[in-house]
Amino acid sequence: MPSPFRPARFLATLVAALWVSDPPAADFAEARQVLIEELRAERQRFAAELGSDAFDSRVLEAMSRVPRHEFVKEALKSAAYENRPLPIRWGQTIAQPFIVALMTDLLQLHPGDRVLEVGTGSGYQAAILAELTPHVYSIEIIPALADESAERLKRLGYTRIATKLADGFHGWPDQAPFDAIIVTAAPTQVPLPLLEQLKPDGRLVIPVGGPFLTQYLLLITKHPDGRLTTREILPVAFVPLTGTR
């Protein structure tokens, strides 16, 4: 015999289902495009500091293809395309989209470049890089986070990204040298191994500063003769780079 209809129970079940369901894919796509327009506008606001008023179009195209909502906690999916950092697990964060776009833009990647990322985190930045070059190497020091991000990247089809559980301060000597290196956590000084693993004409983008001091995003360029030049970009706030020194 069918169970009797109970309006109160039906309503509670319906509300619970709506609460846990993800927004429709179309809503995510629309939110992603709104974010892209916000990134364009914010870049214009920083034109004087950055020396230009526009991102490389390839960077924004990459940002428009990567589903940021897949890289955040379930409870925060509705906020995935807000232009702000969000907490992930183990005390880490997924960076503000503007900073992701800016750091990627500063690398000036070309198809075929070899790029090292120090600090895989959620995997979002690695996915953005993989939209621009197939040769992405990413290091994470937190074991559970490294496993989680590696699984997520593979599930989303980013199977060519090489991931490694290691202390990123020392880089990835077996795969060096790199055309570009990006660091997504802040050391108190630029790691010498990363400078050594950077190719001539390579670019290193890294936040530097103590956790309770002002941090600056730096662009370091290695010239063909090995000479290094450093440019301060913007003040930033990143989680500290952990590991041995």
Q: What is the pLDDT of residues 185-239, one digit of tens each?
A: 999 999 999 999 999 999 999 999 987 788 999 999 999 999 999 999 999 999 9
For 33-77, the pLDDT digits (tens) are 999 999 999 999 999 989 999 999 999 999 999 999 999 999 999
Regarding the domain with residue range 87-236, which homologous superfamily does it belong to in the CATH classification?
Vaccinia Virus protein VP39 (3.40.50.150)
Beta strand 135-140 pairing with 114-118: parallel
For 109-158, the pLDDT digits (tens) are 999 999 999 999 999 999 999 999 999 999 999 999 999 999 999 999 99
Taking the C-alpha atoms of residue 124 and residue 158, their distance in angstroms, rounded to an integer, is 11
On whether the CB atoms of residues 31 and 81 are closer than 8 A, the answer is yes
* End-to-end alpha carbon distance in the chain: 70
Q: Where are the domains of the chain?
A: 87-236
